[in-house]
Each structure stands twice: as structure tokens, then as C-alpha cells.
A and B are shown apart, each in its own frame.
Chain A
């Protein structure tokens, strides 16, 4: 515990991330006002004037929308990162097991997928299958696959050089079994750290997609679309552009700090 307290980055990251999850979960059962309920009489009210953070152009409560936005952003991002992490890690450890030409092909493939930013693949997907949560998850998740494939491959290759793995190989253990018993558990720390950091990136990307109207359709509140809507009222109600951005930045900051903190905590090399 004392060790934890000496790691402010980890602690701050943990607190912000837990708060984010708490708000997101709370929004499922309670928000100050119904987040999609319009109340034109009270439109564009300043913070504390009406509700805690004011209202938007339709008189909807900003605080309630932000809370629901946290859930929407987080759930989309988590699904996307889980998709990327599971597929990518699977590819990485299998390639580390087989090596040879497969390694070359997969690495080139990773370069290629990584060359298409998720915003653009979401646009392509959106044109054909329509935009929405599914499109966002696929676009972000596919982009994450090469990140985890490269990470898992690099980490797994290092494990394959360890003495205990060499011993297992010489004892005639099947490679698939070695991967499951020795490789995966030993690279899981690095994967977990990367999941945390990529979650931050996913939230940023999801916000960007929603901002462009490529995320979940209205009236579902998302942080990105709240910012897009706010842009119309920058002169009248600049505060509308403040809160959703702060929410995004805080969420990403928390996850990045948590990821960095976790890396320090889990990496024995840095414990000196």
C-alpha cells in the first residue's frame, strides 16, 4: 500500500478512471434529468442557472447528457479495444509460435491496416452499412489489431527465448500448449497496460467519430456530438463547448496515467 502511495501517477489515474466508470454506471440508473427530454423554455441556460451545468439548445440538461455520454463513450471504447486486443494478441502469439514467412506477412499486414486511420475506415464503413455504434466499434477495433499483434509478437518472442521455454520445447511439449501455459500468462501484464492506454485512444477516436456524426445516432447523447452541437452556439453559449471536451480530456488523461502507472508497477525493471 505504501508502495502505491509513492506512485502518484498510478493513484491519480486510478481515481479518475474509477470516477469515470462510476459516473457511467450511475447514468444507467439515475441522472438529474431525463437526458433526452427537451425543455425549450429553459434552452441555453448557463451552468447553475438551470441544472448543474446548464442546458443545451433544446433545453436538455447538460450534466445528465454528459453522464449518459460517459456510458456510451466507455462502452463503445471498451468493446472496440477488447475486439482489437483479443484478435491482435491471438495473431501475435500464433505468429511468435510459427515465425517464418507468416511473421513477414502479418507484419506487413499490420503496417497496411495501421495506414488507414479509424476515422477514414469509419467513413468507408459508414457509407455502406450506415454509421452507428457497430461501425465505430469495428473501425476502432480493427485499427487496434495491429497494435496488439505487434506488441504480443514482440513480447512473446522474448518469452520463447527463456530457458524454461527452451526446456519445455526440449521435453517435447506441443508449441500450442507452451503458448497457453508459458507465453500468454507472461505477456498478459504488457497486454493489460496496453489495453488501458488504448482505451484512452479509443475514447478520443470515438469522440472524433461522434463529432463528425459517425457515432451513435441522435438523440443518444455522446460527448463528441455535444461538442459538434455546441459549435453552432460558440458565441451565445461558449460553456456548452467546455464540459464535453473536459470530460473527454479527463477520461483520456485518467486512462493514460493509469496505464503508465500500471506499467511502472508491473514492470520489474523499473522498480529500482
Chain B
């Protein structure tokens, strides 16, 4: 397949895991902005100090994000209380809500009060639902989390075999088909895939519900049935990206010494690849998965709305249409914290997964 970009070329810059997190993994090396694997060597104490440094930086980042979102919401024109109440509210009601929201306090006071609340697990009260936001988020997470997990599992289950096989049949017909699959699945919007799945499996075949969620009380299978179409829609674009990454990673590893040794030992090529090349390819795949988390969340917001799933994304959307600023602010913060945490975990996973680092830690 001449002319095709060589699978997004993670290969040439394996020391840098700081990739452009666009849906197309591309061949950009961002210098040595983050500590590269090579730097981390030697004793376990080094590893521990690294862990502490990363954790501290995580905490600082989370604090800054919360401050940023808080400030941006504050700087935006418009009074949250007025926005929530609409135009018909009386001045007394407005003043009361302003007081209830603490809007009469200066920004630093409100921020600190909110932060203290977060540590107590109190994210404030939803204006429209009249319940604590923390509980609301927990409730909705029971839909979004399984949805995201199924989507992740599906995307990896599609991408690894496709990518590995494409790398083995490098430049062959299978490689071409896998490349085509990547291109197309990255280009189709997840919410449109959702609509097509509804047309096919609900409207035409009548096999699946067109949307909605029965609740976990209705049983595991009923819930799975409600989640599977949205998860497929969500998984497809991810699978396209991951296939490219897996292919590039296996291609790179395939010619390295240990795979050659395994072959020389008499292991068949298939076994050599699955035992040695694939585990190494998993590192960039999971890195990309972590970096793609932002897009997974954005996709979930859309897909949940297509399938009418009562998840976090739908909650954010409902909060917007009901002008429930507090819920929106908390959900945005929650999602952002999740993305940052994922990136942190990817960094940690490097320490666990990479044998060179493990050796350094022992």
C-alpha cells in the first residue's frame, strides 16, 4: 500500500509518549518534555521519588483546573442566579438565590468553600433536581462508567488483532483493509454510527431497544442490552485510532532482537509475535487509550443523548437546557479531573508495564 502513512509512526519516536492526542496518532516528537523512559534508571528510591513528584504534580494540576473552571465561570458575562431563574424572576427571589449560591461572597471565599465541600464529598445542591450534585453524579456514573468500559474493551478487542495481523501482513491485502477500516472509523461521527445502529437493529430488525436504560435493578442482561449499541458506536472511532497504533508498534517490535531470538529458538512466528511483540505493542496502545480519553468522554456525551441514556453526558446536557449552572460546573470538573487522572495513570502504567523500568525498580 504505497503512500499510506506508516501507521501513524509511533515507531520512530518510541522514547516520547507525548503525542498529539488527535484521533490520528501522528509522528510528532515533542522533544523531551516529559521524563522519557531512558532517564529513569537505577534504584528504587529514584522510582519512589518519581512517583511522589508525579503525584504532587497531579494534585497541583487538579487544583489549578478547579480554580480555572471556577474563575472562567465567574468571569463569563451573566449572573448564574439570573441565568438559572430566567427573566421572569422577582428581585427578591433573585437575591435569595444569590445568597443561597453564595454569590454575595468574593470569588476566593466561594472557591475555598467549594473546595472544602469537595473534600467532604459535597459538591453543592442541584438547583433543578433539589438533590446533592455528588449523589446525582454517582447515580449517572452507574451508566456512563459501564458504557465507557464496554467501549474501551470493544475497541481494544477490535484493534489489537487487526493491528497485529496488519503488521504481520505488512503491505499486503489485509494491511490495506485494516488501513481502510482505520481511515473510515476515525472519520465517522460516533453519534451518527449510533443513529445507523438504531435504524438497523431497532427500527428494521427490532432486536435491540432504540434507547433508554432500564436501571440496574432490571438485571444485568437488560442493562447490557441497552448499553451494547451505544458502546459499539463509541468504540468504533477509538478502534480505528488504536488499530493504527497497534500496527505501528508491532511493526517496530517485530524486528527487534527478542522477537528474532524467539523465532530462532524455534517458536513459530505466530507465537513469537503474540508472546513477545504484542505485549510490547500494548504499551503504546494503552498510552493512546489514555490520551484519547478526552474524545471518549466527548463521544459519550453525544452517544448518551442519541440513545437517551441517563448518564453523565446526558446530565451535563440537561443541566445546560435547565440552566443548572452548579451541576454543569461540577460535571465539567468531574470529567476534566477524570481525563487528568487517566493521563496520570498512563504515566504510572509506564512504570509497571515497561520491563526496563521494572528492572530499575527492583
Binding site for B on A (CB under 8 A): 6-10, 103, 107-108, 111-112, 114-121, 123-129, 147, 150-151, 153-155, 157-158, 190, 193-194, 197-198, 200-201, 204-205, 207-208, 211-212, 214, 227, 230-231, 234-235, 238, 241-242, 244-245, 248-250, 252-253, 256-257, 259-261, 263-264, 267, 269-270
Contact = CB atoms under 8 A, between A and B. Distances in A.
Contacts of A10: 3
Contacts of B69: 116, 124
Given A127-B323, A204-B189, A154 B29 contact: yes
A168 to B, nearest CB: 20
A157 B30 CA distance: 8
Contacts of B22: 147, 194, 197-198, 201
Contact of A194 (B4, B26, B78): B26
Contacts of B301: 117, 119-120, 208, 212
B31 interface: yes
A211 B191 contact: yes
Of A8, A119, A205, the most chain B CB neighbours within 10 A belong to A119
Chain A interface mostly: helix
Given A120-B332, A123-B320, A260 B5 contact: yes
Given A128-B73, A158-B29, A253-B184, 9 more contacts: A107-B33, A108-B60, A112-B68, A112-B336, A120-B298, A151-B20, A248-B192, A257-B183, A263-B27
B339 interface: yes
Nearest to B308: A231
Given A114-B294, A234-B198, A129 B77 contact: yes
B328 A127 contact: yes
Nearest to B341: A115
Contact of A117 (B57, B60, B297, B328): B297
B187 interface: yes
Interface size band for B:
35 or more
26 contacts: A103-B33, A108-B61, A112-B65, A116-B65, A119-B301, A120-B332, A121-B332, A127-B83, A127-B325, A150-B30, A151-B30, A154-B18, A154-B28, A157-B31, A204-B23, A208-B191, A211-B191, A211-B305, A234-B199, A249-B189, A253-B183, A260-B4, A261-B3, A263-B5, A263-B26, A263-B27
B77 A128 contact: yes
A205 B298 contact: yes
